[in-house]
Amino acid sequence: MIRYFAAHPTVSNILMMAIIAVGLYSLKELNKESFPLLKPSKVQVMVAYPGASPADVEDGICNPLEDATDGISFLKEQECDARDNMAIFTLEMQEEGNIREFTDDIKTEIDAIQNFPDNIEDPVIKQLGRINPVANIALTSDKLTLSELKALAEYYRDRLIAMPEVPIVTIDGFSTHQLQILIPPDTLKKYNLSIQDIATLVGAEVVDLPAGKLDAAETSYQIKFDNSAKTADELANLIILNTADGGEIKLGDIAHITDRFETPEDRIELNGKVAALLKISKNSRDDTLKVADALIEFVEQENNLLPDGTRLTIVNDNSTSVRDRLKLLLTNGWQGLILATFTLLLFFSWRYTFWIALGLPISFLGGLAMMVVFGVSINMISMVALLMAIGILMDDAIVLSENIDHEYRKGKSPLNAAIDGTQKVFRGVFSSYLTSAMLFGSLLMMKGDMGQILGVLPVVLLSVLTISLIEAFLVLPHHLKQSLKHTHHQEPSKWRQNFEARFSKLRHAAGNAAQKAMQFRYVTVGAALALFIFSIGLIATGTVKFKAFPDLEGNNLEARILLPQGTPLSETERVVDILLAALDKTNRTLSQNEDEPLVKNIQLSYGTHGDVPENGPHLASLSVDLLNTESRNTKMNQLIQLWKDNTGDLPDVLNIQYKEPKVGPAGRAIHIRLSGPDLTELSRASWDVQNRLRGYDGVNNLIDDLRPGKPQYNIRLKPGALAAGVTSRSIAAQLRAAYLDIKIAEIYNGRESYEIIAKLDNVPTQALEDFDNFTIFSSNGRAIPLNSVAVISESREFSRIGHINHRRTVNIYGDVDADIANTSEIIASVQTYAAELNKKYPDVVFNFKGEVENGTETRLSILAGFGLGVFGVFLLLSLQFRNYREPLIVMINIPLALIGAIWGHLIMGLDFTLPSMIGFVSLAGIVVNDSILLVEFVKFRVAEGMVFHDAARQAVFDRFRAIFLTSVTTIAGMAPLLFETSTQALILVPLVTSIVFGMLTSTVLILMVLPALYAIMEDIGFVKLAPEMEED
């Protein structure tokens, strides 16, 4: 087939054009995003239990849910979060499971639960992780009321969702819209009614119900009874009572009716103005940049039409980081390609170099088509794989091209040189492909979320490598044949003759070095072994530290505010004002170093906190949009520190976190889970661990999820209460009706939904003495003060109770400043301390999650997969070389490459990370190829009649040019990224460092260590490389 494609005048070009055409068509099918999307693996069940405390929710909701779902297939972990009025139950699936079947099993088991409390709402079940945020659009106005603002937001939501580029739009910034029926206590006494009685009367009148169909002679009629009330005025005009003299009493006569939103703290502000937030998300089939471009165009058009004071603003735009990262990789990719091409021009003619370099875009376009087939998007990881491929693809093309050139220099015709040169290295190149595929394929065994993210890399590399192999064997020889025809009998230029002469001296020097290495073979191998052991010691001793994932600096910063439970909204607003003033001062100070203001937008959300599983007026979050990372001079840590300093101490605040909102692929730097039966003991143990963590430099934003809840009134009947005509149930029902809204109906007015609720007006709050006099109605209608029939006491429970697999848990979260401290070292120290704490708290179990767990899981899976990959390579080489000795010699290049990777991180001042490990595994697939071809040429020379030492020296001389070229082009292709200073490149620099420095070291050492190993094995009789050796 090689002869046919090389000799045929058109077939190679037809194949090349077909690959190019399919690749160009695939470009528009590829989605673009920042990182690969994770497969959904979690299902969330939300169950509302109005009025219940966390302890009530734990007993009534969490325990039945956990019991019901224990036996579900592929269940990895249950997590139940018991809060005020609500249970959030999350089930995580093992990687082997099917999310659809997993969800169906959960629904089936929950539907069968019979022991839920009577007053719960229906469970809401949904899969998590199916969508990803793209950007938010904030709608602000100086003139519109809150209801009008929401109505306008609904209008824009309909407009956006109708656009083909925009898949998912939700509205945030509003609590439930309600028509509230507020009933004064005196009215209840006057008419001898309870809140429940009035709610029942209203519910009987607010009716909107289809009543059937009437078939007349000429036509058919629908029948509908419509006495609905959709406004406060319509509700006020409802007749609900009759007087003794036949008069009518309207609802508005006995109650005050308001149109408002349920909780004032559920609101969002943008730059000081109340805002409606349109949150735009995408699923796995949508392109982040296409969605973002559509939003930008939409906002520009609408802002030109809106009146003064009303405006749409894009905030939390995740597409900016996608654009920055893709631009970074494209720029470095072109630079690397140009450097690699110029390197080739030093050795080959421009025609020869052109056809070698053309293999790259052909392979890339073919790889893009394969990415569409495998469902891989254009993202940071797939782009890194394409960058890595520059050097790897050059490897096969250079080996083949250099050998064709070598055959041509022997005097063969261009066609015969192309055919013989390709066939001579076919076995070595194909074996190199198989070994690379085996090692890259081992990365597909990576586990965990990071394994899913990084697992894209081997898919892309294997796709591009496969297309490259086809191009190298079936397309390139034909083109090189044509190129040799044009250069036939042409005299090399003077500068090329000088360059070739100097390079020839370098080749002879390499051969002499190999000769010396064989002469002092034990010293050579011993020195290499010592260097390898010393290099491993750099990691073992912590000189080169390990970190799961490099920190990526973004364009968004949050301040998350936590005050004690029960804090009024006015106090939270006072604290927010202090932080806003401090941020304004910080912005004015730091913007002096920028071309434009550092802070672009400030989004304020009350009632939420990213690290606290609670809701209420004691929480707030400030989200700050900053100048793009590539446009600003200020580092995130510098901004955070100055903001902290300007804010000062706030004694009434439990916690303020200044941080980037996104958690990296490795999870939280610090996440320690404590589990045990007693919440008080867990709280004490958590406090001890946090105090220990506070002693480490670089640790910040420490918080746990167990805190005291709101003060609670506990009520019990007094002796003799039954004689007064009240029971426990009647008192509980009347208190529930007064202090917990009674939902009468839910109605729709266009797209806007409303709840009609009834509640007591002017409810006594806070003071126990006021609550004492709450009016209770006895069975005979007599009004009785609450304290005359009940004992009232005050207590305080925890604000939240968490469960993991039936056990009560507390989670400790924290961040680590990577410029100051190393997460792995801190966690190792805390693990030792936790073992000591177990003596103090014997019932508490300490589990270390987050970056430590995820990093360990992925690291171990990489090592396990790499081990299998190496074993597979050994088996393949054993088949090729027909013995078990030479594969060991070939594979010695792998640890030699690790030496360079480790020292590279030390020189560059980098931590050894999971991307570093990925880089090393990829590097192993590259450097083994040099060893294979070197051993192949030793065998060729011995078969030709050379003695071993001369054969080894000559093989080094023969292969030096190809080895040198593959190494230099790989390094040249990666060099721009190695020295990239952009913050977006932080994830890539460790990966590239492993490849560049590993390639550099292994290239130098393999030319000396491999011949020395051969010599030692000959000394001990393991190999007998002589002219009379057995034929292959």
Look at residue 920 and tell me whether its pLDDT is greater than 80. Answer: yes
Answer for the pair 694, 702: CB distance below 8 angstroms, yes or no.
yes
pLDDT recorded at residue 642: 93
pLDDT recorded at residue 1023: 57
CA distance 929 to 415: 26
pLDDT recorded at residue 540: 85
Where does the pLDDT of residue 486 fall: very low under 50, low under 70, confident under 90, or very high at 90 and above? Answer: low
Look at residue 288 and tell me whether its pLDDT is greater than 50. Answer: yes
pLDDT: is 696 or 778 the higher one? 696
For the segment 1-28, the average pLDDT, to the nearest whole number, is: 87
Please state, in angstroms and as integers, the Cα–Cα distance from residue 408 to each residue in 182, 411, 480, 487, 714, following that order: 97, 5, 11, 11, 97
Where does the pLDDT of residue 194 fall: very low under 50, low under 70, confident under 90, or very high at 90 and above? Answer: confident
For the segment 433-449, the average pLDDT, to the nearest whole number, is: 81
Where does the pLDDT of residue 663 fall: very low under 50, low under 70, confident under 90, or very high at 90 and above? Answer: low
CA distance 797 to 811: 18
CA angle 31, 35, 39 (to 5 degrees): 85
What pairs with residue 268 in β-bridges?
A: 275, 605
pLDDT recorded at residue 984: 67
Name all domains of the chain by residue range, CATH numbers in brackets: 1-30+322-484+496-548+855-1020 (1.20.1640.10), 39-128 (3.30.70.1430), 185-254+710-798 (3.30.2090.10)
For the segment 565-583, the average pLDDT, to the nearest whole number, is: 92
Return the structure tokens found at 373: 């087939």
Return the structure tokens found at 977: 């990224």
Count other C-beta atoms under 10 Å from residue 976's C-beta. Answer: 21
Percent of the chain with pLDDT over 90: 27
Answer for the pair 67, 114: CB distance below 8 angstroms, yes or no.
no
Look at residue 439 and tell me whether its pLDDT is greater than 70. Answer: yes
**Lowest-pLDDT range of 713-717, 741-745, 841-845, 984-988:** 984-988
Look at residue 1028 and tell me whether its pLDDT is greater than 60. Answer: no
Number of H helices and E strands in the chain, helices first, is 32, 30
Look at residue 600 and tell me whether its pLDDT is greater than 80. Answer: yes
pLDDT recorded at residue 730: 86
Percent of the chain with pLDDT over 70: 96
Look at residue 1031 and tell me whether its pLDDT is greater than 50. Answer: no
pLDDT recorded at residue 662: 65
pLDDT: is 551 or 566 the higher one? 566
pLDDT: is 534 or 398 the higher one? 534
SS3 293: helix
**652 CB contacts (<8 Å, ≥6 apart)?**
563, 564, 571, 575
For the segment 103-118, the average pLDDT, to the nearest whole number, is: 93
What pairs with residue 181 in β-bridges?
A: 257, 758
pTM score, two decimals?
0.77
SS3 content of the chain, % helix, strand, coil (to 5): 55, 20, 25
pLDDT recorded at residue 68: 94
pLDDT recorded at residue 431: 80
Q: What is the mean pLDDT of the chain?
A: 85
CA distance 681 to 689: 12
CA distance 23 to 467: 11
pLDDT recorded at residue 627: 85
Tokens 């058109």 correspond to 10
pLDDT: is 728 or 592 the higher one? 728
For the segment 230-254, the average pLDDT, to the nearest whole number, is: 86
For the segment 448-466, the average pLDDT, to the nearest whole number, is: 83
Residue pLDDT, tens place only, 295-330: 999 999 999 999 888 999 998 888 887 787 778 778
